[in-house]
């Protein structure tokens, strides 16, 4: 079975632009979480979605938004990009119920110039 997939792999944007990142969870998983990982740090939670509903949101500005589609895939949008948004953006999928383990995709490396 395929694991969590993310696209694109790498992305270069300039300040002020907008970006959309995509994630497809493991087949059968209904929950998707997004994390931001800046260099030298552990991942930081941004959003969690389950059955298309937002279940949780981390301490990120309103420039960050996300949604989940009926097939459980998800998009993360970031508007008005800042240099500090440069990071590895990770998507994790889980079943969504009970003691769920989160499995991570390879990430999208975003560079803001």
Partner 1 sequence: GQQLNQSPQSMFIQEGEDVSMNCTSSSIFNTWLWYKQEPGEGPVLLIALYKAGELTSNGRLTAQFGITRKDSFLNISASIPSDVGIYFCAGQRSGNTPLVFGKGTRLSVIA
Query: Within 13 Å and on the Cβ side, how many CA atoms surround 78?
Result: 28
Nearest by Cα to 2 from 28, 39, 20: 28
Phi/psi of residue 66, each to 5°? Answer: -150, 165
Burial status of residue 5 (CB atoms within 10 A of its CB: 0-12, 13-18, 19 or more): middle
How many Cβ atoms from other residues are within 10 Å of residue 88's Cβ?
A: 16
Q: Which is nearer to partner 1, 22 or 45 (CB)?
A: 45
Strand partners for 50: 31, 53
From 19, 35, 68, 87, residue interacting with partner 1 (rule: CB under 8 A) = 35
Q: Which is nearer to partner 1, 44 or 79 (CB)?
A: 44
Instruction: Return the range that interacts with partner 1 (CB under 8 A); candidates 13-21, 65-73, 76-84, 90-98.
Output: 90-98
From 7, 20, 41, 111, residue interacting with partner 1 (rule: CB under 8 A) = 41
Interface residues for partner 1 in 42-61 (CB under 8 A)?
A: 42-45, 48, 50, 55-56, 58-59
Rounded to a whole number of angstroms, the minimum distance from the CB of residue 100 to partner 1 is 5
Contact of 54 with 66, CB cutoff 8 Å: yes
Rounded to a whole number of angstroms, the minimum distance from the CB of residue 3 to partner 1 is 9
Residues within the interface to partner 1 (CB under 8 A): 4, 31, 33, 35, 40-45, 48, 50, 55-56, 58-59, 90, 92, 94, 96-107, 109
């Amino acid at each position: 079975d395929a694991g969590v997939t993310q696209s694109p792999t790498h992305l270069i944007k300039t300040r002020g632009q907008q970006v959309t990142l995509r994630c497809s969870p493991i087949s059968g998983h209904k929950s998707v979480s997004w994390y931001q990982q800046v260099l030298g740090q552990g991942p930081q939670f941004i959003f969690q979605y389950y059955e298309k509903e937002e279940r949780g949101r981390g301490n990120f500005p309103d420039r960050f938004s996300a949604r989940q589609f009926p097939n459980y895939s998800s998009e993360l949008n970031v508007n008005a990009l800042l240099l500090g948004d440069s990071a590895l953006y990770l998507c994790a999928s889980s079943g969504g119920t009970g003691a769920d383990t989160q499995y991570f995709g390879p990430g999208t490396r975003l560079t803001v110039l």
